[in-house]
Amino acid sequence: MPHKLKNTDLYIQPHSGVTFVKTVNLSLFLLTSAHFIVSAFVDIHRVMFNYLFSLSIVLSLILGGFFFTMLHHATKSKWSVVVRRISESFTSLVPFGVLLILPLLVGIPHLYEWSNAQHLSHDVALQSKSHYLNIPFFAIRSLSYMLILWFLYIKVIKPSYEQDYTENIQTTAHLWKWSCIGLFLFGLTVQFLSFDWLMSLSPHWFSTIFGVYVFSGCVVGGLSAMILVIALLRYFGYMAMVTEHHLHDLGKLLFGLNVFWAYIAFSQYMLIWYGNMPEETVFFIVRQTGEWKNFSLILPIGHFVIPFLFLISRSVKRNIILLSFGAFWLLLMHCADLFWLIMPNFSKEKVPFGSLEIGAFVWGLSLFLFAALSKLQKNALVPIRDPHLADSINFHQ
């Protein structure tokens, strides 16, 4: 028997608890933004590395939302229709992408070794890469990545919201076509963006699997955030149509994609360790010395072993509280992974951990959550004109 949608299933009420959560996140964002600005007068070098960390958190969750949405359309999935608006809301910051990366472009000299002309003049290896690693071309590529995401937003995300009002069934076919094309553009964008923004922090190091590693982290982080937002909305009385059957599939995806992340992480490490080439091992040597040695142990244990043992149970994946706990843990591990990729380039011996690092973490998550909840509050929580909505509501396994 079809689940009858109530008003609270479709729209967030103006004075609900969600509004309070939005207000809290906006306050945290403004507070941490002020902290960034004040700290920039004290240690601009450290601020820029922390901003890159914050930006990476925000962008990784945006990319995770994009991937889930396009995968949903490309595979013509029916079960995930009721949760699609959650992943779509994650992309709400895409139209502001150029603004978000402006501080990154301004801070290039503080972040990237290859941008230092004096250092470049004494480094033959960097000179051979200067045709690619130079400030003008880096800026052009970075802006291009944002424009590609904005293009995909127009083609894949915007029409989905418009379908609620146009009732045009052809929109579903349009979304399928552009999602198939979009997945190809998405893959290229993530690959080169990760090379430019993250891998070039260590310009002498290279890994052809690095883009896949970053991608796997993005989808794990994005899916974890999806589950947490669903749990938040459920707590305030919304999304009642999301049942244990939908949660089970989300849990299976999260479990499987996290195993994929571990596989890629192990493959990258094992091949570099076995090859034992100085230009490749330098990345891991830094992370296996000093305080970073202990921090590095967090990832295999916290990002794989613990969630593997916890999420393998069917009952956990069908329980909103337990699944949310697992998703929260993996979201923290995803942020720790980004921190591990970025911050050793700022401090090679010690793990920097202070108010600025905590503020950077809060800045990224508060901005993201505020934007996602704002998008959800302005639109229906489910695509009400999607032809497969009824199938999704009645989904069971």
Residue 160 structure tokens: 């989905």
3-state helix, strand, coil in the chain (%, to 5): 80, 0, 20
Residue 37 structure tokens: 């600005």
Tell me how far apart the alpha carbons of residues 282 and 262 are, in angstroms, rounded to a whole number.
Answer: 21
Tell me how far apart the alpha carbons of residues 249 and 63 are, in angstroms, rounded to a whole number.
Answer: 20
Tell me the CA end-to-end span of the chain in Å, nearest whole number.
Answer: 15
Contact 93, 100 (CB under 8 A): yes
- What's residue 5's pLDDT? 66
Tell me how far apart the alpha carbons of residues 351 and 377 are, in angstroms, rounded to a whole number.
Answer: 39
pTM of the model: 0.95
Tell me how far apart the alpha carbons of residues 93 and 78 are, in angstroms, rounded to a whole number.
Answer: 26
Residue type, 158: K
3-state DSSP assignment of residue 122:
coil
- What's residue 1's pLDDT? 33
Contact 50, 359 (CB under 8 A): yes
Q: What is the pLDDT along the chain (397 residues), one digit of tens a residue?
A: 344 566 666 898 888 899 999 999 999 999 999 999 999 999 999 999 999 999 999 999 999 999 999 999 999 999 999 999 999 999 999 999 999 999 999 999 999 999 988 888 888 888 889 999 999 999 999 999 999 999 999 999 999 999 999 888 899 999 999 999 999 999 999 999 999 999 999 999 989 999 999 999 999 999 999 999 999 999 998 998 999 999 999 999 999 999 999 999 999 999 999 988 888 899 999 999 989 999 999 999 999 999 999 999 999 999 999 999 999 999 999 999 999 999 999 999 899 999 999 999 999 999 999 999 999 999 999 999 999 999 999 888 7
The domain locations on the chain are 7-116+136-393
Reference 29, options 95, 100, 94, 101; nearest CA is 100
Tell me how far apart the alpha carbons of residues 2 and 6 are, in angstroms, rounded to a whole number.
Answer: 12
Contact 109, 161 (CB under 8 A): no
b/e code 105-125 from CB counts within 10 Å (16+ = b): eebbebbbbbbeeeebeebee
Helix/strand number for the chain, H first, E second: 21, 0
* Side-chain-facing half-sphere of 389: CA atoms under 13 Å: 21
3-state DSSP assignment of residue 349:
coil
- What's residue 396's pLDDT? 83
- What's residue 168's pLDDT? 87
